[in-house]
Each structure stands twice: as structure tokens, then as C-alpha cells.
Amino acid sequence: MKLKADGTRIQFSRDDHDSMHLFDRADRFLPNGWCLLPPLQSCDKGNACLTCSVFATDTTHRTVLERQLDDTTTLIDRTTTEFEIRHGSPMPDDNVWLTHRRAEKEALTKLLEALPTDPGRAIQGGGTHATTTGPIPLTLIPITRRTRP
């Protein structure tokens, strides 16, 4: 399951998946997900991926997202405390830096709430309802080729 920055699900088709590999754009693979910006377009957001509508992630990035949420929370707390010490008053709520960090924190919180905590295991032989966790023995039937007359 892939999620957008706002926590909503993304449905991928085989074409979408293939196009991500077809263009081989290393800049589209992020530490915490993927950029789904069409290959011929460029990004002007810098590193504001968490609040971007074309950012996607999944459970494989959960630990990175959790660490990023912790780091963002710590950064907000430390910076607002230092601001108050330096200026004698709290950082204003409309401060540009604070507004963007809070938006990132909110996006991370929504993503982590939307991601399943236990994505389950890979399905073995889709639709077979296999209950074994090991390999399933298969009997291979030899194929005989017909020769043309």
C-alpha cells in the first residue's frame, strides 16, 4: 500500500510502476518514499516533499518516517526554546519557519497514523490460502514439444 503526503491511498497500475523504472530517475527515490512527479517536469519545492501532493511512501519507510517525526519535533522544541531565550518572547505562530515545520510534523503524523503497523507477510501463491511459512513443494510436468512434419 502506497500513501500520499496527506495519508490517502494511491493505486498503482503496472504502467505506473514500469514508468518509475523506465525513466530511471534516481532523484525520484527518496529516503522516506518516492516522488511521483512526471519525469519531464522539474521540482521547485526543494526538500518540502512531506507537504507535496506527488510524494508517496509505504510501510517499508516507517522507521525513517518515525525518526523524521522525532527529529522534527525535537527541532521545533529546541528552536522555539532558543528563540524565546534570545528574544524574551515566544516565537510567533505565523513565523514562516515554524509554520513549515509544523506542516511537516502534521504530515508525518498523518502518514504514520495511516500506515498499517503490521503489514502482514507476503502472500505465498496468491489466492491459495496457504498456511505454511516454508516452501511449497511443486510437481513439475514436463512439456513435450511437437515437431513439425
Read off the DSSP letter of residue 45: S
Confidence at residue 55, expressed as pLDDT on a 0 to 100 scale = 82
Nearest residue to 132 (alpha-carbon basis) of 147, 121, 143: 121
The answer, yes or no, to whether residue 128 has pLDDT greater than 50, is no
Compute the distance between CA of residue 10 and CA of residue 13 in angstroms, rounded to an integer.
10
Read off the DSSP letter of residue 28: G
Confidence band, pLDDT 50/70/90 cuts, at residue 24: low
Share of the chain above pLDDT 90, in %: 28
What 3-state class would DSSP assign to 26?
helix
Q: 13 with 65: CB under 8 angstroms?
A: no
Q: 70 with 41: CB under 8 angstroms?
A: no
Confidence band, pLDDT 50/70/90 cuts, at residue 42: confident
